[in-house]
Structure 1
Amino acid sequence: MATALQNQKFSVLFDRFDADQNGKIDQTDIDLIVQGWCTTFEIAPGTPKWRTMVGHANKLWQDLLGHADTDGDKEVSREEWVNSMDKPEFLEDVLIPFALATYELADTDGDGRVSREEMDRAQQHSGMSPEDRAQSFAVLDIDGDGYVTKEEFTTAARDFFLSTDANAPGNLLAGKLG
């Protein structure tokens, strides 16, 4: 059973995925998010990075339909979304890989790390305020070198989705809570 903190994090994440802000997540929301990221990072359709991201997005949507869409309406409400996050296998097999695919898009030079500017560009499409983006980067850049490595990001993603520690740095991955 998810804790109150986890439910709060999952609710914030719902807002990031509800691209059209209509209170439901559907295939269009997922497509809009991916399209925004690919446009931001100049990832052309059909390229390997584009195919990888679209593949993760399609897996995310199909798994959401199977795990979260309890009423079968092909939309995921906030309640369905939050309830579906109580499945560690969904988090490990779908959402964390989706987050890592996003990280790969942001790593535009392929050096295995994301700069403040690259992270900012990725997070601005999710509706995070400039202040939240700056705070998130500062916390995620654990060693303070001006970059978030894949290892740091992976740790943050696991913290966000799995940790019940209110002080875990990954809690800020999707912006300030509450």
Structure 2
Amino acid sequence: MVSDFRKKKLLHVFNAFFDTNRSGSVDKSDFELSIKKIAELRGYKPGDEKYKQVEDILLQIWSGLQSRADADNDGEISQEEWITMWDNFAKNPSAAYNWQNLYCKFIFQLEDASNDGVIDENEFSSVYESFGLDKQESIEAFKKMAKGKATVSFEEFQELWKEYFLAEDQEAPGNFIFGCYICSLSKHSHSHSH
């Protein structure tokens, strides 16, 4: 069983980064929308090499996600299918699917705008702002995630990433890797608190 706390974190990623058209499920059109968003953020134009790289990676991620999570083969990932897939990941994180590793690396590279191998508060918050999260909340989230340091390396990011999907500890730094999951919940959440 997935705890309410982990379910909230999983649904934050689902709602903020995957269900980009806010339809309640994830399908290929969400990824096409993300490609456009990211290209705009970085100033890539259709036909550019960089645009094509983003498109290739995101479509690979979609294809991997669909093959692993779309249990009823309807071309959409429901919230239940999403939670089940990450629950399976939690049972055996060392057997992460290829698309999950690809997504982790993609997010890191997306945030590392200066391409110097580390992400800082400004790089982190500008990406999340482009996905509709609050910039100030994202800066706070970065501070918690980076444990007071100015930057986060890819090695550190990978550990924080695992922590996000696995940790039951509400204070774990990895909880903040996707911006402020608690803040976004209060804005997007339809569930009542107990």
TM-score between the two structures when normalised by the length of structure 2: 0.78
- Give the match for residue 76 of structure 1: 77
Extract unaligned runs of 5+ from structure 2.
186-194
The percentage of aligned residue pairs carrying the same residue is 24
Q: Relative contact order (alpha carbons < 8 A, sep ≥ 6): 1 or 2 greater? A: 1
Aligned-CA RMSD value? 2.4
Distance 1:91 1:129 in 2: 30
| 8 Å Cα contact 1:96/1:157 also seen in 2 | no
| 8 Å Cα contact 1:27/1:61 also seen in 2 | yes
Distance 2:154 2:21 in 1: 29
- Structure 1 counterpart of 2:153, one-letter code: T
| 8 Å Cα contact 2:145/2:175 also seen in 1 | no
Q: Does 1:33 align with 2:18?
A: no
Q: Does 1:123 align with 2:128?
A: yes
Q: Does 1:152 align with 2:153?
A: no
- Structure 1 counterpart of 2:157, one-letter code: F
* Length, aligned pairs only: 177
Counting only pairs closer than 5 Å after superposition, residues 68-107 of structure 1 correspond to structure 2 as: 68-88=69-89, 91=96, 93-107=98-112
TM-score between the two structures when normalised by the length of structure 1: 0.84
**Alpha-carbon offset, residue 31 of structure 1:** 1.9
Residues 51/153 of structure 1: CA separation in 2 closer, same or farther (3 Å cut): farther
| 8 Å Cα contact 2:19/2:26 also seen in 1 | yes
Extract unaligned runs of 5+ from structure 1.
none
Comparing 121-130 with 21-30, which one deviates more in the overlay? 121-130
1:130-173 Cα offsets, whole Å, 9 max, x none, are 2321221111223522x232233222211112323322111122
Distance 1:23 1:63 in 2: 20
| 8 Å Cα contact 1:123/1:133 also seen in 2 | yes
1:102-130 Cα offsets, whole Å, 9 max, x none, are 22123222211122221112111333222
